[in-house]
Amino acid sequence: MEEELKTLAQRISVCKDCPLSRNRTHAVPGDGSSSARIMFIGEAPGFYEDQQGRPFVGPAGKFLDELLSSAGMSRGEVFITNMVKCRPPENRDPMPGEVEACRQYLDKQIQILKPRVIVALGRHSLAKFFPQESISKLRGKPRQWNDTIIYPMFHPAAALHNQGLRHYLEEDIKGLPLLLKEAPLGEKEQPQPQQLPMF
Ligand code: URA
Ligand code: SF4
């Protein structure tokens, strides 16, 4: 599985399937544990992410790290990625065509990781799973999507611009450990069938 994620990351780093490839310094495939049971999906790389080729390494990433640690978690045990893997110019919203072109990679990452919980950070990420819903309405409310639980939260960058949102993120992240505990076992965690003796 780790190999599969690496191969995919290599493909992403040279991808030219949408115009965002033109202005990027580095594509940002995503980062974390290949055995993660939680996946965080943000919007798109920003300035620092584009420079380093790693997700959530700027101010929003620092806040995300604080949130994770307040819930007793670390980056090492989750997987973090974005809706689109290359930085939009001036950090504008990704366009629908760009999201569509990049979907192949995110879908593949979900398919490989089979996370029990996906934390959808912000409205762009939420729109992948529940396009008609609003993030203010759904935040902090887990919802089933295929074999996975989607847990929507405000985007950490939104809370940096609007301090009033901060406590919602601090509240919502607290629900994550319990949610993970209660989530049904994923396919990769099912007990292996035992070999029965042949008599
Ligand atoms: N904002 C995002 O959505 N993703 C990042 O990786 C960084 C900031
Ligand atoms: Fe390819 Fe996605 Fe980057 Fe567009 S954003 S060039 S689809 S990796």
Q: At residue 119, what are phi and psi to the nearest 5 degrees?
A: -90, 115
* pLDDT for residue 165 is more than 90: yes
Ligand 2 pocket residues where CB is under 6 Å: 12, 15-18, 20-21, 27, 84-86, 98, 101-102
Q: Is residue 120 assigned to a domain?
A: yes
Q: Is 25:105 a contact under the CB 8 Å cutoff? A: no
Q: Average pLDDT for residues 139-160, to the nearest whole number?
A: 97
* pLDDT for residue 51 is more than 90: yes
Give the total number of structural domains in the chain: 1
Q: Is residue 169 assigned to a domain?
A: yes
Q: Is residue 126 assigned to a domain?
A: yes
* pLDDT for residue 198 is more than 60: no
The pLDDT assigned to 6 comes to 97
C-beta neighbour count of 41 within 10 angstroms? 26
Q: Is residue 92 assigned to a domain?
A: yes
Q: Average pLDDT for residues 11-39, to the nearest whole number?
A: 97
The pLDDT assigned to 52 comes to 98
Residue range of the domain that includes 100: 2-179
CA dihedral 168, 170, 176, 179 (to 10 degrees): -50
Q: Which of 124, 75, 125, 98 is nearest to 24 (CA)?
A: 98
Q: Average pLDDT for residues 166-184, to the nearest whole number?
A: 92
CA 31 to chain centre: 9
Q: Average pLDDT for residues 115-136, to the nearest whole number?
A: 97
Residue 51 in tokens: 């420079």
Q: Output the domain CATH number for residue 150.
A: 3.40.470.10
pLDDT band at 24 (very low <50, low <70, confident <90, very high): very high
In which residue are the tokens 């209660």 written? 182
Q: Average pLDDT for residues 8-37, to the nearest whole number?
A: 97
Q: Is residue 188 assigned to a domain?
A: no
Output the CA 194–ligand 1 centroid distance in Å: 43
Q: Is residue 53 assigned to a domain?
A: yes
DSSP E strand boundaries for the chain: 31-32, 38-42, 78-82, 117-121, 143-145, 148-153
Q: Is 106:98 a contact under the CB 8 Å cutoff? A: no
Q: Which of 50, 79, 82 to mutate to test the pocket of ligand 1 (most atoms within 8 A of CB)?
A: 82
Query: What average pLDDT is seen over the chain?
Result: 93
- Stated pTM of the model: 0.93
Q: Is residue 125 assigned to a domain?
A: yes
- Residue 101 CA to residue 136 CA, distance in Å, equals 27
Residue 81: how many CA atoms within 13 Å on its side-chain side?
Answer: 30
One-character DSSP codes across 88-103: PGGGPPPPHHHHHHHH
pLDDT band at 33 (very low <50, low <70, confident <90, very high): very high
Q: Is residue 196 assigned to a domain?
A: no
